[in-house]
Amino acid sequence: MPPVLSPAVPTAAHPDPARPRSALGKLMITEAKLLLREPITLFWSAAFPVILLIVMGLASSATQADLGGLRLIDTYQPILIAFAATAFAVQGMPTALATYRERRILRRLATTPVGPARVLAAQLTANLALILTATAAIITTGHLAFHVPLPGNGLAFLLALMLTATAMLSLGLLVAALAPSGRAAGAIGAVLFFPMMFFAGLWIPKATMPHVLRQISDFTPLGAAVQALQDSTTGQWPAPVALAMLTAYAIIFAAAAAKFFRWQ
Amino acid sequence: MPVIEVDQLHKRYGAKVAVEEVSFTVDDGEIFGIVGPNGAGKTTTVECIEGLRRPDRGRIRVLGLNPERDRAQLRQRLGVQLQEAELPDKLTVAEAIDLYRSFYRHPADHTALLEALGLADQRKTRYRKLSGGQKQRLSIALALIGRPEVAVLDELTTGLDPHARRDTWALIRTIRDQGVTILLVTHFMDEAERLCDRLALIHSGRVAALDSPTGLTDRVNTEQRLRFRPSAPLADQLLTTLPEVTRLTRTADEVIVTGTTNLLGAVTAALARDNIVAERLRVERTSLEDAFVALTGQQP
């Protein structure tokens, strides 16, 4: 048997073992792999919105005057994109991070040269990648199966999507900062998810909401998100107030998360 | 030059003083133990050495580096095993090793390390499916993957069965023989006794004693004790009259004799004169646990 602490020898995977792969890249790949091993999270956050979209597509035939001249599926596409973003960012990610803290994984990383902050960066990147993938799946399914038009203003849509994802990931970090355990983070995530999705129009689309509810919705994170995504899908630039709300939420949540986050 | 220097360390959490005053040095190639009851300040002390906590007062140097100021440099050279630190449930052994390798500039050969730790067959096993001993060995592997010059191991064998504990001890000796200085935190006295070259006994935030395990037991070793089964009936007076014997008691079939140094020679000589053989003779010496109780007035 070779000595326990013998130096690394070159292999196919590591031709130059003295310089291993970048730690951040490795952490990102690892976190992404771990996320893909969570079938329940993946089903709820990515598959379920697509299934819901298909159901809406089968149920909607003609345009509806009460939906502002859109079909049911056209109305729901941005809502389901917000669903996927929120499920990954506010339910899945904080549960994982709070569990990491609870099980002293973050503290263990603090004793290594890379430190624990990069595992946060890796989690954010992995979740953002999955949010973008789920969004692409929703848009592709809607377009190919039900002729939902592709975003009319691609740049505006991308901006709205990135702002939505950023605001939700920041909120996820805040939940992870405040939750004492992984289980608590899951519970807080669920408590936030349902009211936010209500104002996004999951149960009553915004167009059919009573006036007061619609006004409140405009000032909630997902109400603003759906508005911005909807506007850019129909080819317009989103209302400045929606973009401003999303930006403000992103900054507030991120600042609060930075203030309250504990590594142990 | 000592590898670890701790000089008058003091650390409090709010009103509670965790470490009152702790000083010790660890030399190159030593297995140095920090022993003491739960809550004595052991973990706080090593967390200051690891740079995870900021001392309120006192000076710490590891490999000549300041754990706070020279954090980045030290973390390449210091391996750490934390008490109760886990890994993600669905991460495999190989993935964990591969991930931690990427953190260090000159990592160890993972195949050799996994083989030496008996984890070669578990490469594809997820963390959740590992046994307690395997999890502990993986944790040691991750502490060593960066080929550290110093390894800090906190409560190494807690939760392991006796067989796994012995294997782990042998492994620690092997690692030391390869030139790694080891700082071991434990509340198991038998572990400290068998493994450590020197140890600091910490009690209520202070160093109660600093010595080799034998040195510590010698300090409180005032008497010896023999137990045996006499081959023929034995009159008490035969032994109690000896100057070396202070006390004699009997169990159902054994005689227990307590006395001073050279007790064994005096008793066996006296028995031989009467043609009595001391069967199943055992000499009981003071254990580190006894020394601990004597030095701290408390159960470990």
pLDDT over 80 at B297, yes or no: no
Which residues in chain B are classed under CATH 3.30.70.980?
222-284
Q: B260: which 2 tokens?
A: 């001073």
Q: Which residues contact B267 (CB under 8 A, 6 or more apart)?
A: B226, B239, B242, B244, B245, B257, B259, B278
The range of the structural domain enclosing residue A175 comes to 23-260
Q: Assess if CATH 3.30.70.980 describes domain B222-284.
A: yes
**Within-domain flag for A18:** no
Q: Which residues contact A165 (CB under 8 A, 6 or more apart)?
A: A85, A89, A128, A131, A132
**Within-domain flag for A244:** yes
Q: What are phi and psi of B249, to 5 degrees?
A: -130, 165
**Within-domain flag for A205:** yes
Distance from CA of A49 to the nearest CA of B (A): 25
Q: What is the pLDDT of residue A14?
A: 57
**Within-domain flag for A127:** yes
Complex ipTM: 0.87
**Within-domain flag for A2:** no
Interface residue of B71, B103, B136 to substitute, partner A, most A CBs within 10 Å: B103
The tens digit of pLDDT for each residue in A196-249 reads: 999 999 999 988 899 999 999 999 999 999 999 999 998 889 999 999 999 999
Residue with tokens 């936030």: A192
Give A-chain residues touching B51 at CB under 8 angstroms. Answer: 111
Q: For residues B198-226, give the mean pLDDT.
A: 86
CB A159 within 8 A of CB A242: no
Element (H, E) at B24: strand B16-26
* SS3 state at A130: helix
* SS3 state at B118: coil
pLDDT over 90 at B48, yes or no: yes
Q: A77: which 2 tokens?
A: 């596409």
Query: B118: pLDDT confidence band, cut at 50, 70 and 90?
Result: confident
Average pLDDT, chain B: 90
The answer, for A37 touching chain B at a CB cutoff of 8 Å, is yes
pLDDT above 70 coverage of chain A, percent: 94
Which residues in chain B are classed under CATH 3.40.50.300?
4-213
CB B217 within 8 A of CB B194: no
**Within-domain flag for A9:** no
Other beta carbons within 10 Å of A90: 31
Query: A1: pLDDT confidence band, cut at 50, 70 and 90?
Result: very low
Instruction: For domain B4-213, give the fold.
Output: Rossmann fold (3.40.50)
List the end-to-end C-alpha distance of chain B, in Å, as a whole number: 32
The tens digit of pLDDT for each residue in B228-276 reads: 999 888 888 888 888 888 888 898 889 999 887 788 888 888 888 888 9
Separation of alpha carbons B141 and B111, rounded Å: 11
Q: For residues A183-199, give the mean pLDDT.
A: 96
- Hey, are the CB atoms on B112 and A4 less than 8 Å from each other? yes
- Hey, are the CB atoms on A7 and B144 less than 8 Å from each other? no
Of B86, B116, B171, the CB nearest to A104: B86
Element (H, E) at A214: helix A211-218
As for how many domains chain A has, the answer is 1
In the 3-class helix/strand/coil scheme, how is A9-60 assigned residue by residue?
Answer: CCCCCCCCCCCCCCHHHHHHHHHHHHHHCCHHHHHHHHHHHHHHHHHHHHHC
The tens digit of pLDDT for each residue in B163-187 reads: 888 888 998 999 999 999 999 999 8
Which has more pLDDT, B217 or A215? A215
Strand partners, B283: B226
Which has more pLDDT, A60 or A25? A25
CB B283 within 8 A of CB B266: no
Q: What is the pLDDT of residue B101?
A: 94
* SS3 state at A3: coil
